Amino acid sequence: MTPVCIVTDSNTRFTTPSILPRYPITLAPIKVRCGSVSVQDEPETDLVRMQDLAKKCQSFPTPEVPSEEEIIAIYSHLQSGADQILSIHTSSGLSEMVNNANAASQHFLGRVDIQVIDSQSASIGLGWLVQAAAEAAARGEPLETLVRIVRGMIPRLYMVFFLDDLTYLEQKGLVSRSQAILGNMLGVIPFLTMEGGRMIPMEKVRSRQRAIEKLIEFVCEFSAVEHLAILQSSKLPTQESLSMTDRLHSYHPRTPIQTVCYGPSLSTFIGFNSLGVAVIEAEEGTL
């Protein structure tokens, strides 16, 4: 039996750099468009070019996902070497990928077993799910086991961010224009969390240092953590992320803590100077 092929979004982020060459993972290309110019969002893409583009652009950057027809082409290409495909995508609350993948999968009924999963997450959260599925596929696990593994991880996956520009919340309809203007004038720093696959505003603080403290407090609420990552806007660790790593290690000394640069797609929701954490809570009795 051939291993299950895995399809995911190119804006996925991984904590293991060698995962793509090692496993049969196909990346559906995601772009971020600003006016007539677009930036390809891939695992190694950073935010530098996107920032430059956003400064020159008259409109707000928006993600662009493959159409149903383009996903059909991806599945058709994989069909020649596999009869089972697991398609795991960015939350349907943030992207049309899940809807397009579901529509595309209908064209293969009776020919290829395609299971589409809404990750209810993004970036490194999606990457953890994809990596777990890829490792299980490499062990020879059947498709139904991969689906069970991924679906079992989703309720234990949490992401929280803070951002220093409320304009992004205004663009997504989460605050009014007057709230965004006033909040930026007052230096308000809002928190967003992924809940039910959507970005949900939480509380607000008035300093970046207090915001960092709140991120640490959030992680410390978990008694045991399987995966933990700090999401930031640069590839190299910053003083903020290094300090957070040291402090979080004292609470979760057995959990590796990675620093990940989020990509252009996520920046359209949280901006270019955000900081966040992603957590997969350990299953009871496993750690």
Domains and CATH numbers, the chain: 5-155 (3.40.50.10170), 156-281 (3.30.1180.10)
Residue type, 244: M
**Alpha-carbon distance values, 214 to 123, 150, 232 (Å):** 21, 28, 16
Tokens representing 65 are 């996902």
3-state secondary structure of 38: strand
Q: What's residue 51's pLDDT?
A: 81
Q: What's residue 286's pLDDT?
A: 58
3-state percent breakdown (helix, strand, coil) of the chain, nearest 5: 40, 25, 35
Q: What's residue 55's pLDDT?
A: 78
| Mode of pairing for the β-strands spanning 189-195 and 198-205 | antiparallel
DSSP conformational letter for 75: H
pLDDT, tens digit only, all 287 positions of the chain: 567 999 999 999 998 878 998 998 999 999 999 888 888 999 988 888 788 777 777 778 889 999 999 999 999 999 988 889 999 999 999 999 999 999 999 999 989 999 999 999 999 999 999 999 999 999 999 999 999 999 999 999 999 999 988 888 888 787 888 888 888 888 889 999 999 999 998 889 989 999 999 999 999 999 999 999 999 999 888 999 999 999 999 999 999 999 999 999 999 999 899 999 999 999 875 55
Radius of gyration of the chain (CA): 19
The secondary element (H helix, E strand) that includes residue 229 is strand 225-232
Tokens representing 160 are 């929280």
Distance CA 19, CA 14 (A): 8
